Amino acid sequence: MIAASLIERWPEWLSPLLGGLGTSLQLTAAFLVIGLPLGLGFAVMLSAQRRLVRAVAVAAVELGRAVPVLVLLYLVYFGLPEADIRLSAFVSATIAISFSFAAYTSEVFKAGIAAVGSGQREASQALGLTHPQEMRLVVLPQAVRIVIPPILGWVVIFFQATSLAFAIAVPELLNEAYTIGSSTFRFLSVLLLAALLYAAVSIPASLAIDHLDRRRGPLT
């Protein structure tokens, strides 16, 4: 009885919730477009030879990792308008999540860069490549392959973090569920459906990443 009443209105809610999931996925795409290059940039800066460049990167990465994403989100959304920078909720969420994603993944990228054998660097130097050339042509192409599985793991975690955009009223999946819940007072039913949709994306993705990680042979 209880089970039936829990799911009886799922068919009617599925369409708005799928719309919300669409927005969550758009946020995911947006933080990937900004966050991935930014994270790689931080990593290159962290491995730079100049101290000042390294110091700037360390400060940015520590900030991104020490402060909750939710606080970054509020800082961008409520704080920047005071400096006369007005952004939509979606853009604010994208900026905050991208920054945090970049801070976390920069450590992974950095480890990937360090994992490229020193013989590769020495060979590049022997060939007379400059440091930027060495990075771009030799080190990064190899590092990127090493870091793909752990980076994908972070993507799944931050896909879930897009639910934080609820806090500034971005109409993503959790927000749609909450709206339906507050008008029908059936929070349990609608939140269960939302959880199911999140899980339907996250769980297969995690399993696929595990599989990819295990199957990957030695680099050639």
Given the rule CB under 8 A, which residues bind other proteins? 2, 63, 66-72, 74-75, 77-83, 160-161, 163-164, 166-167, 174, 177-178, 181, 185-189, 191-192, 194-195, 198-199, 202-203, 206-207
Question: Can you tell me whether residue 185 is helix, strand or coil?
Answer: coil
Give the shortest CB-12-to-other proteins separation in angstroms.
17
Beta strands in 165-214 (DSSP E): none
Smaller CB separation from other proteins, 57 or 161: 161
Smaller CB separation from other proteins, 37 or 79: 79
Give the shortest CB-55-to-other proteins separation in angstroms.
17
Fill in the amino acid letter for 153: G
Give the shortest CB-50-to-other proteins separation in angstroms.
25
Give the whole-angstrom CA distance, residue 93 versus residue 55. Answer: 26
Give the shortest CB-193-to-other proteins separation in angstroms.
11
Sorted by sequence, the CB contacts under 8 Å of residue 176 that are 6+ apart come out as 16, 17, 19, 20, 194
- The DSSP line for 119-138 is HHHHHHHHTT--HHHIIIII
∠ CA 50-51-55 to the nearest 5 degrees? 125
Smaller CB separation from other proteins, 30 or 96: 96
Smaller CB separation from other proteins, 83 or 126: 83
To the nearest 5 percent, what fractions of the chain are helix, strand and coil?
Answer: 85, 0, 15
Task: Say if CB 43 and CB 203 are below 8 A apart.
Answer: no
Give the shortest CB-150-to-other proteins separation in angstroms.
14
Smaller CB separation from other proteins, 59 or 123: 59
